[in-house]
Amino acid sequence: MTLKRIAAVVILAAMLTMGMMSVAGAKTYNVVLVLKNFVNPVWLDMQRGGEAAAKELGINIKTLAPLKADNNEEQVKAIEDAIIQKVDAIVVVPSDSNGIIPAIEKANKAGIPVINVNTKANGGKCETFVAVENYDAAFMVAEAMGAKLNGKGTVIVLEGVPGAQSAIDLDAGTKAALKKYPGIEIVASQTAKFQRAEAMKVMENLLQRFPNVSAVLAANDEMALGAVEAIDAIGKTGKILVSGLDANADAVKAIAAGKMTISCDKRSYQQGYEGVKAAVKFLNGEKLPARVVIQTNVVDSSNIANYVK
C-alpha cells in the first residue's frame, strides 16, 4: 500500500470516528430523577437502579429528593429548577399525587417529557407509568397474612401518606383481601406516613388499646419495622404477626430473625432502572406503553434464604 493510500485510510478512519463520536454525543441526554426522600431504603435502591441505567445508556443523571422527607413543595421546586436548566427528561416519584400536578404541567409546557414512577400522578401528561401494581402487591400480602392467621383474628392496618396514590392503592388492596376472611376484624386503621419512627409511636399507642391484636399489616417495610420495635418493647415479638411491603434490607433481616412475617419484593431498583430507561427510549423516538408493570412476589420464611443471600 502506498503512503498516499495509507494516509487516505487514516483520514477516513478518523472521519468515521469523529462521526461516531458526534452521533454518540447527540444521544448524551441530561435526565433528572426526583425521589420522595433519601431516607427510606426503597428510594435509595431506586436511585441506584436509575443511576445504573444512566451509566449503561451513557447519559447524565442527577438524583434529587426533598430535605424534608416526602415534601411536595420541595419536589415541585426541584422540577421547576430542572425546567430552568432545560434538562432533556424528568423522572419523578410524586410525594403527593395531586400536589405534583402543577410541576408536571410546567414541564409539559416546556416540552420536557415526564416519566412517572411508583406513585401515580393524578394529572399532567406523563409519557408512561413505571411501577409494581400497588393494589395487587398489597392484596397479595394481606391474602398471605389472612392464610397465616387461618382466617381468624384482629388486625391493625398502618397506612401511608394521605393523598399519595400509592397509599390509596395499597390501603385498598389490603382491605379488599381481608374481606375474603370474615373471621378477621380490622380494629384500627391509621396513617404512619410511611415512616419507621412515626409507626413506632402509632403502634405504641395502639398496643395500649389492643395488646392482644393478632397482626399488623403495614403499607411499607419502614412502618412494619417501626411496629416491630413497638411490639418487641412489650415482649410480644413472634406473637403478633407483622407484614410490610418492599423487601428492603432491614425487613429481610427481620423476617430471617422471625421478627417480621411477610414482605413483598417491589423491586425498587428495577423501577428506577426501567424509569430512566423509558426516558431514554422516549428521547430516542420510541413509542412507550401507557404502563410498564414490574412483577412482584411475596417474601416470607419459605423463600427468605434467597433474599438473605
Average pLDDT, the chain: 91
Regarding whether 214 and 201 lie in a shared domain, the answer is yes
Write down which residue in 228, 248, 266 finishes a domain: 266
* pLDDT exceeds 80 at position 25: no
How confident is the model at residue 303, as a pLDDT?
96
293, β-bridge pairs: 131
Q: Which residue in this structure is represented by grid cell 400497588?
A: 134
38 located within any domain: yes
Joined grid coordinates for residue 133 = 401494581
- What confidence tens digit (pLDDT) does each residue in 278-292 have? 999 999 999 999 999
For residue 91, the model assigns a pLDDT of: 98
Number of domains in the chain: 2
Task: Report whether pLDDT(26) > 90.
Answer: no
Which 3 state secondary structure label does DSSP give 207? Answer: helix
Q: Give the model's confidence band at 37: pLDDT under 50 very low, under 70 low, under 90 confident, else very high.
A: very high
| Residue closest to 264 by CA, chosen among 147, 117, 135 | 135
Strand-pair category, 263-265 with 297-299: antiparallel
In a domain, 201, yes or no: yes
Same domain, 118 and 242: no
Claim to verify: residue 122 and residue 171 sit in the same structural domain: no
* pLDDT, position 27: 60
pLDDT (average), residues 21-49: 82
pLDDT at 12 (0 to 100): 36
Please write the tens of the pLDDT for every residue from 196-233. 999 999 999 999 999 999 999 999 999 999 999 999 99
Would 305 be classed as within a structural domain?
no
pLDDT at 16: 37
Q: Give the position of cell 441530561.
A: 30
**Which element (helix H / strand E) includes 184?**
strand 184-191
Q: Is residue 37 part of a domain?
A: yes
Distance CA 56, CA 50 (A): 10
Does 123 share its domain with 19?
yes
Distance CA 155, CA 75 (A): 34
Residue 74 lies in a domain: yes
216, 243 Cβ separation under 8 angstroms: yes
**Closest-CA residue to 102 (of 127, 131, 68, 79):** 79
The CA-atom distances, in angstroms, between 302 and each of 56, 128, 240, 263, 298 are: 34, 35, 19, 12, 10
CB contact at 8 A, 263 and 255: yes
Q: Is the pLDDT of residue 52 over 80?
A: yes
pLDDT of residue 18: 36
Burial of 47 (0-12, 13-18, 19+ CB in 10 A): buried
- Residue 309 confidence class, pLDDT cut points 50, 70, 90: confident
> Does some domain include residue 302?
no
- Residue 279's pLDDT is 98
pLDDT of residue 232: 97
Residues 110 and 169 in one domain: no
Mean pLDDT of 111-122: 96
Looking at the chain, the whole-number percentage of residues with pLDDT higher than 70 is: 91
Do residues 141 and 253 both lie within one domain? yes
Q: Is the pLDDT of residue 98 over 60?
A: yes
Residue 5 has pLDDT above 60, yes or no: no
In a domain, 303, yes or no: no
Q: How far apart are CA 171 and CA 179, in angstroms?
A: 13
Answer yes or no: pTM beyond 0.85.
Answer: no
Residue of 74, 76, 77, 48 whose CA lies nearest to 63:
48
Q: Which residue has the higher pLDDT, 15 or 200?
A: 200
79 belongs to a structural domain: yes
Which structural domain, as residue segments, surrounds residue 59? 10-131+270-294
Q: Is the domain of 39 the same as that of 116? A: yes
Q: Show the cell assigned to 55.
A: 451509566
Task: Identify the pLDDT of residue 136.
Answer: 95
Do residues 215 and 242 make contact, with C-beta atoms less than 8 angstroms apart?
A: yes
CA dist., res. 203 & res. 119, Å (int): 25
Q: Are residues 185 and 240 in the same domain?
A: yes
Domain check: are 126 and 275 in the same one? yes
Amino acid at 55: K
22-26, 48-52, 60-64, 301-305: lowest mean pLDDT where? 22-26
74 shares a domain with 20: yes
Q: Are residues 276 and 218 in the same domain?
A: no
CATH of the domain at 158: 3.40.50.2300
| Close Cβ partners of 102 (under 8 Å, ≥ 6 residues apart) | 76, 124
Statement: residue 242 has pLDDT above 60: yes
Residue pLDDT, tens place only, 170-200: 999 999 999 999 999 999 999 999 999 999 9
